[in-house]
């Protein structure tokens, strides 16, 4: 059985990778905002004048890049989980094979 210290070390490693994937995905999100572009449109309020309202210049490009960022975060976190679980399993199997062959 895997020790608690090993489990917590791997959990900390997993959290570190989650933060890394979140940062990478957030950068891609930010690129989506830049690619989507923002403009300002004046909305008339009748005789009272107008107010500037932000609008998106290219919402389709924004949506595509944001979805890519989301997919990177999602797949990165899932792949990291599978990788760490596979490492723990391989280490445990190797340890048991060494003790049973001795």
Q: What is the pLDDT of residue 57?
A: 83
Residue 100 banded pLDDT, cuts 50, 70, 90: confident
- The number of distinct structural domains making up the chain is 1
If you average pLDDT over residues 10-23, what whole number do you get?
97
Residue 52 banded pLDDT, cuts 50, 70, 90: confident
| Structure confidence by residue, pLDDT tens digits, 54-97 | 788 888 999 999 999 999 999 999 999 999 999 999 999 999 89
Continuous segment of H or E residues that includes residue 50 = strand 50-56
If you average pLDDT over residues 29-56, what whole number do you get?
81
Tell me, yes or no, whether 44 lies in a domain.
no
Tell me, yes or no, whether 32 lies in a domain.
yes
Tell me, yes or no, whether 60 lies in a domain.
yes
Residue numbers of the domain that contains 64: 17-38+52-101
42: which DSSP letter? E
Tell me, yes or no, whether 45 lies in a domain.
no
pTM of the model: 0.78
Report the distance separating Cα 19 and Cα 53, nearest Å: 34
Tell me, yes or no, whether 62 lies in a domain.
yes
């Amino acid at each position: 059985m895997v020790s608690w210290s090993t489990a917590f070390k791997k959990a900390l490693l997993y959290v570190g990778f989650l933060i890394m994937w979140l940062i990478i995905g957030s950068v891609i999100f930010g690129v989506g905002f830049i690619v989507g572009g923002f403009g300002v449109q004046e909305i008339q309020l009748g005789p009272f004048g107008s107010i500037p309202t932000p609008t998106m210049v290219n919402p389709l490009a924004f949506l595509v890049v944001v979805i890519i960022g989301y997919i990177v975060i999602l797949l990165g976190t899932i792949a990291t989980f599978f990788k760490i679980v596979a490492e723990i399993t391989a280490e445990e199997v190797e340890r048991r094979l060494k003790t049973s062959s001795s």
